[in-house]
Amino acid sequence: MNAFDYHQAADGTQAIEQAVRCQQAKYLGGGTNLVDLMRETVERPQTLIDVTRLSRDITDIDGGGLIIGAAVTNAALAGDARVRSRYPLLARAILSGASAQIRNMATVGGNLLQRTRCAYFYDTATRCNKREPGAGCDALEGFHRYHAIFGTSSSCSATHPSDMAVALVALDARVHLRGPAGDRQLAITELHREPGERPDLETELQPEELIVAVELPPLAMAARSQYRKVRDRASYAFALVSVASMVELDGETIQDVRLALGGVGTKPWRASRAEAVLRGQPATAATIAAAVDAELAAARPLPGNAFKVELARRTLIAELSQCLSDARDGGDA
């Protein structure tokens, strides 16, 4: 690990001022990802600006939505009674990730911006376009069992690892940003980038821009939302495939639906093709099968992760069938 300076920011504005003043600064949330990367010398910031004094509040907004401060811990968010009743998929997604100790440290801002778990990215003796643009990608012909089948390029096929982000993408959350040029908001679906030719550019954040909050819009059907995660071990493992879902029925017609996938995309993957096939159609097994086919038609697996296509198909079918059944019952998920 290289030597670095440390500053604690009192608030977002001070954090940005410090970042603008310092050379090669990085914001520090819980440090559960960034510090690991610094130990491996993948990240070498000269200054760390601790942003854990940003808001830790979860605040009600009109209509039943919530604003979540960027420094709220994953544990506090998953344990909030309003989150558990209005957005249960978010609580489930968070609790399916990492360990209790890590969730106690990890923050909302840091979770969204955690970096991929591709083993080559962490190993500085290997070639990785994300770590070193233009170097090549050793995962292509190496070990890529955990890699993405959606949004890939010949430069990079690493998955985005966050479970929480998948739930937030399904909820159409908005990210509140603050930077040297002022405040702005971004749909969370626009926050992360596909790798294309530049896998090192992972988000739409501008230099020194800071996540200050995440906004959950009110959404009645989210009270029956689900998160299902398939992985190699029952705990402490990243997703092979995960599905965040919710459905609103009008009789036996699918009035509205939200679907997002984890473990399969280079960014948290909104399954828009499947949603388009489902909306306005009868709530039948045939409709589900057509929707899943439409989404998976865009999959571009590598030899070592082709199994994810079938795994995603089965997980999506199981999850959507459960969602429809819960929507018919009208009860809690």
Ligand X SMILES: Cc1cc2nc3c(=O)[nH]c(=O)nc-3n(C[C@H](O)[C@H](O)[C@H](O)COP(=O)(O)OP(=O)(O)OC[C@H]3O[C@@H](n4cnc5c(N)ncnc54)[C@H](O)[C@@H]3O)c2cc1C
DSSP string, 290-311: HHHHHHHTT----GGGTHHHHH
Please identify, using beta-carbon distances, which residue of 27 and 87 lies nearer to ligand X: 27
Taking the complex as a whole, the smallest distance from the CB of residue 129 to ligand SF4 amounts, in Å, to 4
Please identify, using beta-carbon distances, which residue of 13 and 325 lies nearer to ligand X: 13
Q: Of residues 90, 106, 128, 166, which one binds ligand SF4 by CB under 6 A?
A: 128
121 near ligand X, rule: CB under 6 A: no
Nearest to 104 by CA among 6, 50, 31: 31
Per the listing, tokens 């608030």 go with: 11
Please identify, using beta-carbon distances, which residue of 90 and 139 lies nearer to ligand SF4: 139
Instruction: Tell me the C-alpha distance between 166 and 112, whole Å.
Output: 10
Taking the complex as a whole, the smallest distance from the CB of residue 122 to ligand SF4 amounts, in Å, to 9
Q: Of residues 71, 118, 169, 291, which one binds ligand SF4 by CB under 6 A?
A: 118
Instruction: Tell me the C-alpha distance between 148 and 118, whole Å.
Output: 10
Q: Of residues 92, 130, 178, 308, which one binds ligand SF4 by CB under 6 A?
A: 130
Task: For residue 135, count other CB atoms closer than 10 A to its CB.
Answer: 12
113 near ligand X, rule: CB under 6 A: yes
With CB cut-offs between 5 and 8 Å by kind, which of ligand SF4, ligand X, none does residue 258 bind? none
Q: Of residues 27, 120, 150, 227, which one binds ligand SF4 by CB under 6 A?
A: 120
269 near ligand SF4, rule: CB under 6 A: no
Instruction: Label the pairing between strands 66-69 and 210-216.
Output: antiparallel
Looking at the DSSP bridge assignments, the partners of residue 50 are 8, 28
Burial class of 97 by CB neighbour count within 10 A (0 to 12, 13 to 18, 19+): buried
Helix (H) or strand (E) holding 104: helix 100-105
Contact characters 12-51, ligand X, x per CB under 6 A:
--------------xxxxxxxxx----------------x
Binding site for ligand SF4 (CB under 6 A): 116, 118, 120-121, 128-130, 137-139, 156-158, 199
